[in-house]
Amino acid sequence: MSQSLNQSMSPTVSPTMNENLTETETETETVTPAANGAVLSAQNVEKSFQLDDLHIDVLNDISLQVKQGEFVAIMGKSGSGKSTLLSLLAGLDQPTKGLITLNGDDLTQMSEEELALKRQADIGFVFQSFHLIPTLTVQENIEFPLTIARRSDSERVKELIDAVELTHRTGSFPHQLSGGEKQRTAIARALVANPKILFADEPTGNLDEKNADQVMQLLLSLQKAFNTALVIVTHDPGLAKLADRTITIVDGQLL
Ligand SMILES: Nc1ncnc2c1ncn2[C@@H]1O[C@H](COP(=O)(O)OP(=O)(O)O)[C@@H](O)[C@H]1O
Ligand SMILES: [Mg+2]
Return the CATH number at 130.
Answer: 3.40.50.300
Cross-strand bridge partners of residue 64 = 42
Assess if residue 52 is contained within a domain: no
pLDDT score at 238: 85
Assess if residue 56 is contained within a domain: no
Which residue's CA is the closest to the ligand 1 atom numbered 24?
Answer: 79
Assess if residue 39 is contained within a domain: no
Return d(Cα 12, Cα 123) in angstroms, integer: 9
Looking at residue 169, the DSSP 8-state letter turns out to be G
> Domain of 199?
69-81+112-254
Assess if residue 60 is contained within a domain: no
Which residue's CA is the closest to the ligand 1 atom numbered 1?
Answer: 17
What are the backbone angles phi and psi of residue 230, rounded to the nearest 5°? -130, 125
Return d(Cα 138, Cα 135) in angstroms, integer: 10
What is the amino acid identity at position 86? L
**Angle, alpha carbons 205-57-94 (nearest 5°):** 70
**Does the beta carbon of 173 lie inside 6 Å of ligand 1?**
no
Return d(Cα 188, Cα 11) in angstroms, integer: 12
Which residue's CA is the closest to the ligand 1 atom numbered 3?
Answer: 49
Assessment of whether the complete model's pTM goes beyond 0.95: no
Kindly tell me if the per-residue pLDDT of 55 is higher than 50: yes
pLDDT score at 36: 65
Cross-strand bridge partners of residue 249 = 254
Alpha helices (H) in the chain, listed in sequence order: 82-89, 112-122, 138-148, 154-163, 179-191, 209-226, 237-242
Assess if residue 165 is contained within a domain: yes
Which residue's CA is the closest to the ligand 1 atom numbered 5?
Answer: 49
Tell me the average pLDDT of the chain.
88
Assess if residue 5 is contained within a domain: no
Q: Which of 19, 56, 57, 202 to mutate to test the pocket of ligand 1 (most atoms within 8 A of CB)?
A: 56
Question: Can you tell me which atom of ligand 1 is nearest the CA of 21?
Answer: 3
- Residues 6-24: tens digit of each pLDDT: 333 334 333 333 434 444 4
Assess if residue 196 is contained within a domain: yes
More confident residue, 99 or 33: 99
Q: How far is the CA of 127 from the centre of ligand 2 (A)?
A: 10
What is the amino acid identity at position 163? A
Question: Can you tell me which atom of ligand 1 is nearest the CA of 78?
Answer: 23
Return d(Cα 217, Cα 239) in angstroms, integer: 10
Structural domain tally of the chain?
Answer: 1
**Does the beta carbon of 95 lie inside 6 Å of ligand 1?**
no
Q: How far is the CA of 88 from the centre of ligand 2 (A)?
A: 13
What strands, in cross-sheet order, belong to the sheet with 245-250? 123-126, 197-201, 229-233, 71-75, 245-250, 253-254
Contact (Cβ atoms closer than 8 angstroms) between residue 198 and residue 232? no
Kindly tell me if the per-residue pLDDT of 242 is higher than 50: yes
Return d(Cα 96, Cα 172) in angstroms, integer: 42
Kindly tell me if the per-residue pLDDT of 151 is higher than 50: yes
Assess if residue 121 is contained within a domain: yes
> What value does the mean pLDDT take over residues 100-110?
96
Q: How far is the CA of 109 from the centre of ligand 2 (A)?
A: 25
